[in-house]
């Protein structure tokens, strides 16, 4: 009797257990904190968040990157600043012994290889952006009961961003693989610059047609005119690259060729698109140049930024590592690892406020005192001391500044978070694009080209300074030379210099022309000589990352770079 | 077994009744002086004998004393034989030993030791050395061959890493499975909350167990032993049995211990006068404080002229920060037994103060174990094990995450005093304050004003029902639940550099988990003819839910806030929470056969299904076979009486490692944020991971052969094993093409092999009634080899975020845990540069030298890419010709420069007993392991020109005076900050881990004591090593790379005295 009871107990337990195991979903994965794709694209709100996800990669540290590799931060979180700014005549890497990421040192001294983690993570980050855009485009049509216009508008934004990421891929690496699906195909090959440019143009044209324009009020999101302005940029880029005969290998390398470009036609297109934005009166130059870079989402930024990265330093969305690349140390104004060259100081005429706005003589310190800009407190800038220019640590990037927090004692803001929106394309840039395009179309600087230069200069002059005197001072016989200088003056440390020097084929000239006399601080001299020594024509393109070559065997390397180097 | 003893007791009791002649009495005790009730006393060659009573006394009536020998035996102890002669009183001490009839706990059951066919080893808690750390894993070090134990830091409560038979996983975790009284307990750092990007939480996840609650530990090593744990068995299994209630009566044991911990030796660093000179040399023309304003740097009187000597104030920061620390431990254990029930209860309290001020560890443990026989067939047992632990850890990172972080480093590197400057001047030190931004606070201020508290509260409760369906067939059902909750609370006020950049920063982080496990087993035990067999079948199911939540606030006014007033900050960050759940179900079986007590066979099988596995691989199946041959029972060895046991074992089988992070089998999106036009965050979606529906466990196939021997009446015992382990389908974070949307995906690819030999030998070297010397020795050699990394031939194992972070590497063909870097090749000297050719003497060259000049290397001298080399800088070997013959050191010139794995490791125990004294000496050793001493870089002023350095380095660093120096120039902050063989040191050591002296009082029967013992213990008293850092046992941040020392919390010498009273 006893034994039977015991047996029953045992059997009961066993059967209960089998019953539980028998439940079909017992071994299904359960995730309370994770979201599946079908849930994202269930509603227009989800799709909108997915479109924001395409933008947010601009400021993300790069999810899914091998993030624990030092410096492996794609896009603008950190990486793009290195790719665009660390090895030209605007900034030089301070040989700081405290800082020894080989990726950054080699990138900054033009001795990088295809395994450089920055070159690699920029590639990854940009392609992730493209993937996110593709995910929107592939899935958004599943949403039913929404207006086709709204869907098309979101698609327009996704396509704008896809074009945007391809544009940077093209300028850094040349012809790259085109991926327009959420693909899992590693047999992919590189497309030519021609095909990539065609895709970018198509995407931006679609965006220009389909984005519902009230969205333009959203600073960080693309509107129709954002696409238009970028179309001007694209065509100017292609036309000037063709015209200036950008290096294309000892043996011509068809993938990166600009031979297909009809430069006249593209200059004309650039002119038309620039005129279209100009004539729309949607943007304006603000009075105070310096205010553009200090407060997130200010009136000034809304007026002048055509496209920008939105930031919110308080809540974790950050444009980080600006200290390293741009020189903002917490409060701003210095100690960035990339130091402006002395010639940046000489570039400005006395009374051009852009000099003080862009350059400082040292890290901002509490004892400098506080100034109030638009109702927020900022530490006053440490001015550059002209007599100290050739000394070490005499000149720093001052462009981006953080407000000082007043909490009984001054807060030393973090040196990794910058609390201001970061411009990607400004109206001033568009004016200079317009100047260049009109000059190229008419082959004369009279009229619009000169007017545009004056307009850009005018607003940043001290009240007593005469614009004619300034125009005279900045005047160069070669209009393009003057224009490129003006672009550097106006757009300093905004990431355009390398691209400008590249498309005009003046990269080598400018590197060689950097003054290595006693004007350059001695601690920057070694870096300067390394850049000059290591420069080679083929370095105008970055190498395709070794990682990409290994994972997709049909992708080939750019000329000049060894397959394994 | 114990039931049998009770029966014997009654049988012998009846025998005693009928003879009253030659009465012999006596007492039986164990080597600790504890009485042994129920020990059997048998007349040799007969069945006649007696049993000791509750006080260990026996009385036996003998017909003929002269030619009689008595055999004293007790389970778990070695038999003793005593000739009676004309003695009327015989007191015997029995020694615990490798008793062949000892029952060992194996997976889901027990087995007699002589029948074991797998590679397993048992450590009885009472034989383990006393360790001041309070972490039972520490006690295991060197005790069991094949088990490598490394403490992560010397901080109180710090974690301890255990790996069994080498690391066989890369991304899947290498920690073994712990089974506590039958309940599987997942070990892993993820149990402990970690705030801040600090990979060392400072609190070990297994620290929740009080070592004094442990009765024994069995380490299961080969597939035969672990296959029954299937997908969780690949890293080995540690089966822990806690103390149970005794046979009968009530027992109370009280143990009080007081510890004094101290830092064995300070590192001599420069004092303030020397420091000022060093700074002056280091940054000529730099700041007004450290050079003459007149600019005449050669002027030896410059300090005196600039600053009055009285104005220089020395501060010995090591005196300020380190302290001798007094700590206490109280353990109270109660156990009680009646015929039908057994109860054990314990309370433990440990308060350890760290040798770094403001650091401590406090733990409260309690255990209640109850077993009741409901009737003849049914019994119930319940276990409750609760623990509350709390560390007040070192602020900043204990072991610096970046090379400049870490309080220990900052103690050594900080300015060793200050100079009272002219108040009218602007503070000349300001420039150096700037340099310190974000790197270092004054160490004492950081300890005093910062908060870093980690708590770990765990509760394990289980209820088991045992039903003897028939005499042979037993059913057991065990249900267990575990709750774990850990908090990491962190606060840095704005006055500290760690907080300044945030305006003060507070983080509250909680990690908690709930686990449930239900096992049902049927065991059938039978014998027929010459065959004995045990069959086991069972089901198991369970689930676990893990949660983390984190709250952070910033911008606290001075004096405001802290972790208990986080609302006082005005800059709250977005709070986060995360939950994962996984469920598993398993079935398993095992068959064990013993034929003629000579031939042993076993087979086990397990199927594991888990929600963590991908759609296409829901079930994993694991098996093992083993055979044993007891040679000593063969007739050809029948004459060899000195051999009690000689057994050969062989096993082969598979196990798995299922430590796959949750949620990777499906593609998931994650929520991010992107600011809208008002710069307020709006939700965004981005892909979080690319799902892998094929994801599964890592599979380890292991073959093992072994030999067990016991000789000279069990006085000498040895075990030797050789194994080969192949781990395939490694869980690897593999690169995937960027246009797949994400950079990496976890895949099952790659392979690591481990092979090795293990030896343990023990014996009673001297055994007599006056003096006993027991010694045991273990040695392990494990060789790991990475066979496949899923495509790439190497993979860096980054550590931390700054200098030397790429020191660890995995390379195909090399062991797990190699160091990677440049090969040091001396230093650049004058003759390497063109400019010095014009000088005929070193002195002249030195005189012309200026640190501000860029010198040109001669043809053929190796240059370093993108570095500005100068005399005194580190030179490296150019290994690859990747630079078109330019003789440049590039990243490609890095190679394997060391290996943190020891060639051999183990321990050596000596246990002496004489009179009432016990003296235990326990050494552990590790030979052939190398250490990358990153901390040396800082001590040598590499990081920054304002860091203090050691006196030793200051005397050997290259100087421009024309002398010949061994070490690189203090001004070289480029080459010296590269990972290079310069920092690789021999980390071999032999350590007197524990020295224990105990005295057992002889107390009268009516004293109320069962035993009284006082003891003194010293941990880490002596360490023999050539290593120059604090502790050669150091474990790096990345568990796969042992021996990366960034200046961790030094291990203390701990002296303790205590008293142990049994009532």
Tens digit of pLDDT for each residue in A373-415?
777 777 788 888 888 777 777 788 888 777 765 444 444 444 4
Q: Which of A196, A212, A228 is the last residue of a domain?
A: A212
Whether A185 and A316 share a structural domain? no
What does DSSP assign to residue B393? P
B386 φψ region: left (φ > 0), alpha (ψ -120 to 50), beta (else): beta
Q: Which pLDDT band holds residue B429 (cuts at 50, 70, 90)?
A: very low
**pLDDT for the residue B333:** 93
The number of beta carbons lying within 10 Å of the beta carbon of residue A432 is 26
**Does the residue A384 lie in any domain?**
yes
Q: Which pLDDT band holds residue B365 (cuts at 50, 70, 90)?
A: very high
The number of beta carbons lying within 10 Å of the beta carbon of residue A15 is 11
CATH code where residue A123 lies: 1.25.40.890
Whether A201 and A327 share a structural domain? no
> What residues in A contact B891, CB-CB < 8 Å?
102, 106, 113, 115
Query: From CA A35, how far away is CA B674, in angstroms rounded?
Result: 18
- Residue B465's SS3 state is strand
Give pLDDT tens digits for B366-418: 999 999 998 888 999 999 999 999 998 877 654 444 445 577 777 888 888 87
CB contact under 8 A, A100 and B974: yes
CB contact under 8 A, B685 and A57: no
| Mean pLDDT estimate for chain B | 84
Across the interface, which of B610, B686, B741 has its CB nearest the CB of A56?
A: B686
**CB contact at 8 A, B458 and B208:** yes
Whether A157 and A34 share a structural domain? yes
- Residue A421's SS3 state is coil
> What residues in A contact B501, CB-CB < 8 Å?
330, 412-415
Which residues in A248-263 are b (16+ Cβ under 10 Å) and which e?
A: bbeeebebbbbeebeb
B937 φψ region: left (φ > 0), alpha (ψ -120 to 50), beta (else): alpha
Residue bearing the bigger pLDDT, B403 or B632: B632
Give pLDDT tens digits for B488-529: 998 988 888 777 767 888 999 999 999 999 999 999 998 888
Query: From CA B1037, how far away is CA B394, in angstroms rounded?
Result: 16
Does the pLDDT value for residue A458 go beyond 90? Answer: yes
**pLDDT for the residue B7:** 43
Does the pLDDT value for residue A66 go beyond 60? Answer: no
Does the pLDDT value for residue B431 go beyond 50? Answer: no
CB contact under 8 A, A411 and B555: yes
**Does the residue A271 lie in any domain?**
no
Nearest to B52 by CA among B70, B35, B32: B35
**CB contact at 8 A, B187 and B513:** no
CB contact under 8 A, B611 and A55: no
Does the pLDDT value for residue B427 go beyond 50? Answer: no
Query: From CA B487, how far away is CA B547, in angstroms rounded?
Result: 12
HSE-up (13 A, CA, CB side) for residue B491? 22
**pLDDT for the residue B361:** 94
Q: Which pLDDT band holds residue B60 (cuts at 50, 70, 90)?
A: confident
Considering only residues 571 to 630 of chain B, which have any Cβ-Cβ distance to chain A shorter than 8 Å? 571, 573-574, 577-585, 609-613, 618
Give pLDDT tens digits for B300-351: 444 444 555 566 778 888 998 999 999 999 999 998 888 888 999 999 999 9
Whether A206 and A75 share a structural domain? yes
Does the pLDDT value for residue A153 go beyond 90? Answer: yes
**pLDDT for the residue B327:** 94
- Residue A521's SS3 state is coil
**pLDDT for the residue B408:** 79
**pLDDT for the residue B16:** 43
Mean pLDDT of all residues in B256-283 = 85
Give pLDDT tens digits for A206-221: 999 999 876 455 568 8
Nearest to B662 by CA among B746, B778, B757, B595: B746
Angle (deg, nearest 10), helices A479-491 and A467-474: 120
Residue bearing the bigger pLDDT, B522 or B103: B522
Rounded to two decimals, the ipTM of the complex is: 0.87
Q: Which of A420, A447, A481 is the last residue of a domain?
A: A420
Nearest to A329 by CA among A379, A271, A390: A379
Integer angstrom CA distances of residue A530 from A80, A88, A108, B472, B886: 21, 12, 9, 83, 14
C-alpha torsion angle, residues A326, A328, A329, A335 (rounded to 10)? 50
Q: Read out DSSP for B571-610? A: -PPPPEEEEEEEEEEEEEEEEEEEETTTEEEEEEEEEEEE
- Interface A:B, Cβ pairs < 8 A: 311
Whether A13 and A132 share a structural domain? yes
**pLDDT for the residue A113:** 86
**Does the residue A454 lie in any domain?**
no
Give pLDDT tens digits for B848-861: 887 777 788 888 88
How many domains does chain A divide into? 2
Considering only residues 932 to 951 of chain B, which have any Cβ-Cβ distance to chain A shorter than 8 Å? 943-944
Query: From CA B432, how far away is CA B410, in angstroms rounded?
Result: 15
Q: Which pLDDT band holds residue B285 (cuts at 50, 70, 90)?
A: low
Q: A26-35, A295-304, B442-451, B543-552: which has the highest mean pLDDT?
A: B543-552
**pLDDT for the residue B189:** 66
Does the pLDDT value for residue A340 go beyond 70? Answer: yes
CB contact under 8 A, B673 and A179: no
**pLDDT for the residue B485:** 94
> What residues in A contact B882, CB-CB < 8 Å?
565
Residue bearing the bigger pLDDT, A23 or B166: B166
Q: Which of A398, A420, A442 is the last residue of a domain?
A: A420
Residue bearing the bigger pLDDT, B101 or B194: B194
**pLDDT for the residue A22:** 57
pTM of the model: 0.84
**Does the residue A475 lie in any domain?**
no
Query: From CA B398, how far away is CA B800, in angstroms rounded?
Result: 12
Whether A61 and A172 share a structural domain? yes
Nearest to B1030 by CA among B411, B204, B196: B411
**pLDDT for the residue A77:** 66
**Does the residue A355 lie in any domain?**
yes
Query: From CA A119, how far away is CA A60, in angstroms rounded?
Result: 17
**pLDDT for the residue B306:** 53
Q: To which residue do tokens 């007004």 refer?
A: B288
Query: Which are the contacts of A107, defined by CB distance < 8 A and separation ≥ 6?
Result: A82, A83, A86, A87, A116, A118, A119
**Does the residue A191 lie in any domain?**
yes
Mean pLDDT of all residues in A461-489 = 93
Across the interface, which of A13, A34, A530 has its CB nearest the CB of B520?
A: A13
CB contact under 8 A, B735 and A179: no
Whether A207 and A331 share a structural domain? no
Residue bearing the bigger pLDDT, A486 or A76: A486
How far does CA B541 lie from the centroid of its chain? 29
CB contact under 8 A, B669 and A219: no
Give pLDDT tens digits for B667-723: 888 888 788 877 778 888 888 888 899 999 999 999 999 999 988 877 899 999 999
Query: From CA B215, how far away is CA A257, in angstroms rounded?
Result: 77
**Does the residue A177 lie in any domain?**
yes
Whether A89 and A207 share a structural domain? yes
Q: Which pLDDT band holds residue B423 (cuts at 50, 70, 90)?
A: very low
Does the pLDDT value for residue B599 go beyond 70? Answer: yes
**pLDDT for the residue B433:** 38
Share of chain B above pLDDT 70, in %: 88
- In angstroms, the separation between the Cα of residue A512 and the nearest Cα of chain B is 18
Mean pLDDT of all residues in A146-154 = 91
| Mean pLDDT estimate for chain A | 83
Residue A139, domain extent: 2-212
Nearest 5°: phi and psi at B161? -100, 135
Residue bearing the bigger pLDDT, A419 or B981: B981
Considering only residues 296 to 355 of chain B, which have any Cβ-Cβ distance to chain A shorter than 8 Å? none
Give pLDDT tens digits for A95-143: 665 555 677 888 888 888 888 888 888 898 899 899 999 999 999 998 8
**Does the residue A407 lie in any domain?**
yes
- Establish if B468 touches chain A: CB-CB under 8 angstroms: yes
Measured between CA atoms, the residue of chain B closest to residue A105 is: B866
Residue bearing the bigger pLDDT, B180 or B248: B180
Residue bearing the bigger pLDDT, A469 or A182: A469
Give pLDDT tens digits for B906-947: 999 999 988 889 999 999 999 999 999 888 887 776 666 678
Does the pLDDT value for residue B10 go beyond 80? Answer: no
Query: From CA B894, how far away is CA B823, in angstroms rounded?
Result: 7
């Amino acid at each position: 009797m006893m034994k039977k009871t015991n047996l029953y107990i045992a059997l009961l337990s066993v059967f209960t257990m089998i019953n539980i195991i028998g439940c079909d979903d017992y071994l299904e994965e359960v995730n309370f904190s994770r979201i599946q794709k079908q849930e994202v694209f269930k509603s227009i709100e989800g799709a909108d968040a997915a479109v924001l996800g395409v933008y947010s990669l601009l400021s993300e540290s790069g999810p899914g990157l091998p993030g624990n590799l030092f410096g492996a931060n794609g896009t603008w979180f950190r990486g793009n600043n290195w790719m665009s700014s660390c090895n030209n005549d605007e900034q030089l890497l301070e040989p700081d012994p405290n800082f020894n990421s080989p990726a950054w040192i080699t990138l900054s001294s033009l001795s990088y290889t295809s395994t450089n983690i920055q070159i690699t993570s920029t590639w990854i980050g940009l392609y992730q952006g493209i993937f996110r855009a593709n995910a929107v485009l592939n899935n958004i049509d599943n949403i039913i009961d929404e207006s086709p216009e709204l869907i098309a508008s979101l698609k327009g934004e996704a396509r704008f961003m896809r074009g945007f990421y391809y544009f940077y891929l093209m300028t850094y690496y040349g012809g790259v693989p085109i991926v327009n699906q959420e693909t899992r195909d590693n047999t992919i090959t590189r497309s030519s610059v021609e095909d990539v440019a065609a895709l970018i143009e198509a995407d931006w044209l679609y965006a220009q047609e389909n984005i519902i324009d009230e969205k333009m009020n959203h600073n960080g999101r693309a509107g129709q005119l954002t696409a238009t302005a970028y179309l001007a940029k694209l065509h100017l880029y292609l036309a000037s690259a063709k015209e200036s005969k950008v290096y294309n290998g000892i043996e011509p390398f068809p993938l990166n060729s600009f031979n297909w470009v009809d430069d006249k036609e593209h200059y004309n297109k650039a002119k038309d698109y620039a005129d279209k934005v100009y004539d729309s009166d949607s943007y304006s130059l603000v009075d105070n140049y310096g205010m553009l870079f200090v407060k997130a989402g200010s009136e000034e930024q809304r007026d002048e930024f055509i496209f920008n990265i939105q930031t919110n330093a308080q809540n974790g969305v950050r444009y980080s590592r600006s200290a390293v690349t741009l020189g903002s140390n917490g409060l701003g104004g210095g100690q960035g690892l990339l130091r402006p060259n002395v010639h940046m100081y000489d570039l400005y005429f006395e009374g051009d406020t852009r000099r003080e706005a862009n350059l400082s003589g040292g890290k901002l310190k509490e004892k400098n005192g506080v100034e109030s800009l638009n109702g927020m407190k900022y530490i006053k800038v440490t001015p550059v001391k002209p007599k100290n220019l050739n000394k070490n640590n005499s000149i720093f990037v001052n462009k981006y500044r953080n407000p000082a927090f007043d909490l009984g004692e001054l807060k030393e803001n973090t040196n990794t978070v910058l609390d201001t929106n970061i411009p990607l394309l400004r109206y001033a840039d568009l004016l200079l694009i317009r100047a260049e395009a009109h000059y190229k179309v008419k082959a004369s600087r009279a009229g619009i080209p000169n007017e545009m230069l004056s307009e850009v200069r005018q607003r940043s002059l001290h009240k007593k300074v005469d614009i004619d005197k300034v125009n005279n001072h900045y005047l160069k016989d070669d209009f393009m030379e003057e224009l490129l200088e003006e672009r550097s003056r106006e757009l300093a440390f905004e990431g355009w210099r390398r691209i400008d020097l590249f498309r005009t084929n003046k990269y080598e000239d400018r590197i060689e022309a950097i003054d290595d006399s006693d004007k350059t601080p001695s601690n920057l001299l070694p870096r300067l000589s390394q850049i000059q020594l290591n420069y080679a024509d083929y370095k105008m393109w970055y190498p395709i990352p070794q990682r990409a070559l290994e994972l997709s065997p049909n992708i080939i390397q750019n000329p000049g770079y060894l397959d394994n180097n | 077994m114990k039931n049998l003893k009770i029966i014997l007791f009654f049988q012998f009791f009846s025998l005693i009744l009928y003879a009253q002649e030659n009465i012999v009495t006596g007492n039986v005790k164990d080597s600790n002086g504890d009485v042994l009730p129920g020990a059997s006393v048998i007349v040799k060659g007969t069945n006649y004998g007696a049993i000791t009573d509750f006080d260990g006394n026996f009385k036996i009536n003998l017909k003929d004393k002269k030619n009689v020998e008595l055999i004293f035996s007790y389970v778990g102890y070695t038999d003793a034989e005593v000739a009676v002669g004309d003695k009327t009183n015989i007191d015997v001490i029995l020694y615990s030993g490798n008793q062949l009839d000892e029952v060992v706990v194996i997976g889901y059951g027990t087995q007699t030791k002589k029948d074991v066919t797998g590679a397993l080893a048992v450590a009885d808690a009472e034989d383990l050395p006393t360790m001041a750390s309070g972490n039972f894993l520490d006690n295991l070090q060197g005790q069991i061959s094949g088990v490598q134990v490394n403490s992560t830091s010397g901080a109180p409560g710090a974690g301890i890493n255990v790996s069994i038979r080498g690391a066989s996983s890369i991304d899947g975790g290498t920690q073994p499975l712990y089974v506590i009284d039958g309940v599987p307990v997942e070990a892993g750092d993820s149990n402990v909350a970690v705030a801040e990007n600090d990979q060392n939480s400072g609190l070990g996840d297994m620290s929740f167990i009080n070592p004094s609650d442990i009765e024994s530990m069995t380490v299961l090593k080969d597939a035969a032993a672990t296959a029954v744990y299937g997908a969780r068995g690949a890293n080995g299994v540690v089966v822990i049995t806690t103390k149970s209630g005794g046979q009968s009566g009530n027992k109370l044991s009280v143990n009080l211990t007081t510890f004094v911990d101290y830092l064995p030796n300070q590192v001599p660093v420069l004092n303030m006068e020397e420091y000022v000179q060093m700074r002056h040399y280091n940054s000529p023309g730099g700041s007004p404080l450290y050079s003459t304003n007149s600019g005449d740097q050669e002027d030896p009187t410059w300090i005196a002229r600039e600053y009055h000597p009285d104005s220089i104030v020395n501060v010995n920061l090591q005196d300020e920060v380190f302290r001798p620390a007094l700590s206490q431990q109280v353990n109270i254990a109660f156990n009680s037994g009646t015929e039908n029930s057994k109860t054990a209860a314990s309370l433990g309290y440990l308060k350890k103060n760290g040798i770094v001020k403001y650091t401590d560890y406090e733990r409260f443990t309690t255990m209640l174990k109850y077993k009741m026989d409901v009737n003849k067939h049914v019994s119930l047992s319940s276990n409750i094990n609760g623990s509350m632990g709390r560390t007040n850890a070192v602020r900043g990172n204990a072991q610096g995450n970046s090379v400049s972080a870490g309080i220990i480093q900052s103690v050594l590197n900080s300015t060793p005093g200050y100079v009272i400057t002219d108040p009218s001047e602007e503070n000349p030190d300001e420039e150096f304050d700037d340099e310190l931004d974000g790197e270092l606070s004054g160490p004492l201020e950081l300890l005093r004003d910062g908060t870093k508290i980690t708590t770990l509260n765990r509760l394990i409760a289980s209820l088991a029902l045992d039903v003897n369906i028939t005499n042979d067939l037993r059913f057991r059902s065990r249900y267990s639940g575990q709750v774990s909750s850990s908090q990491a609370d962190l606060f840095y006020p704005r006055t500290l550099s760690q907080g300044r950049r945030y305006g003060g920063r507070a983080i509250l982080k909680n990690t908690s988990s709930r686990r449930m496990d239900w096992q049902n087993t049927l065991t059938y035990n039978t014998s027929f003819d010459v065959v004995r067999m045990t069959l086991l079948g069972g089901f198991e199911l369970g689930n676990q839910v893990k949660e983390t939540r984190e709250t952070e606030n910033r911008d606290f006014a001075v004096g405001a806030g802290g972790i208990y007033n986080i609302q006082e900050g005005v800059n709250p960050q977005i709070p986060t929470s995360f939950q994962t759940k996984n469920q598993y179900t398993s079935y398993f079986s095992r068959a064990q056969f013993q034929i003629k007590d000579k031939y042993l066979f076993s087979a086990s099988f397990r199927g594991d299904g888990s929600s963590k596995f991908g759609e296409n691989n829901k079930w994993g199946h694991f098996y093992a076979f083993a055979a044993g041959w007891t040679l000593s029972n063969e007739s050809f060895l029948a004459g060899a009486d000195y051999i009690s046991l000689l057994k050969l074992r062989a096993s082969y089988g598979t196990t798995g490692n299922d430590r796959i992070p949750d949620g990777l089998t499906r593609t998931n999106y994650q929520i991010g944020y992107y600011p809208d036009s008002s710069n307020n965050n709006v939700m965004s979606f981005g892909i979080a991971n690319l799902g892998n529906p094929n994801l599964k466990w890592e599979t380890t196939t292991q073959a093992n052969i072994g030999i067990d021997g016991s000789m000279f009446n069990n006085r000498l015992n040895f075990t030797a094993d050789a194994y080969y382990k192949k781990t395939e389908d490694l869980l690897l974070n593999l690169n995937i093409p960027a246009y797949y949307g994400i950079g990496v995906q976890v895949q099952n690819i790659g392979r690591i092999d481990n092979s090795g030999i293990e030896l343990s030998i023990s014996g009673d070297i001297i055994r007599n009634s006056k003096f006993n010397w027991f010694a045991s020795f273990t040695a392990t050699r494990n060789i790991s080899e990475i066979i496949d990394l899923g495509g790439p031939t190497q993979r860096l194992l980054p550590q931390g975020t700054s200098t030397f972070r790429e020191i660890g590497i995995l390379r195909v063909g090399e062991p797990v845990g190699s160091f990677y870097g440049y090969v040091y090749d001396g230093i650049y000297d004058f003759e390497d540069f063109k400019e010095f050719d014009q000088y005929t003497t070193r002195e002249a060259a030195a005189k012309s030298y200026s640190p501000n000049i860029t010198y040109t290397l001669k043809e053929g001298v190796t240059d370093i890419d993108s570095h500005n080399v100068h005399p005194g800088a580190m030179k490296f070997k150019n290994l690859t010709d990747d630079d078109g013959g330019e003789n440049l050191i590039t990243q490609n010139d890095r190679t394997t420069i060391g290996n943190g794995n020891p060639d051999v490791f183990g321990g050596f125990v000596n246990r002496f007993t004489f009179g009432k004294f016990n003296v235990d000496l326990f050494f552990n050793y590790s030979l052939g392991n190398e250490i990358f001493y990153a901390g040396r870089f800082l001590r040598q002023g590499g990081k920054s020109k304002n860091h203090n350095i050691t006196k030793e380095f200051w005397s050997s660093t290259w100087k421009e005076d024309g002398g010949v120096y061994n070490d690189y120039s203090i001004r070289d902050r480029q080459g010296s900050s590269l990972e290079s063989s310069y920092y690789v040191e021999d980390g071999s050591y032999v350590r007197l881990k524990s020295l224990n002296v105990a005295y057992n009082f002889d107390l009268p029967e009516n004293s109320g004591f069962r035993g009284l013992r006082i003891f003194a213990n010293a941990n880490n008293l002596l360490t023999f090593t050539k290593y120059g850092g604090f502790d050669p046992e150091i474990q790096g941040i990345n568990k796969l790379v042992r021996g990366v020392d960034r200046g961790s919390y030094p291990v203390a010498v701990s002296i303790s005295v205590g008293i142990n009273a049994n009532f």
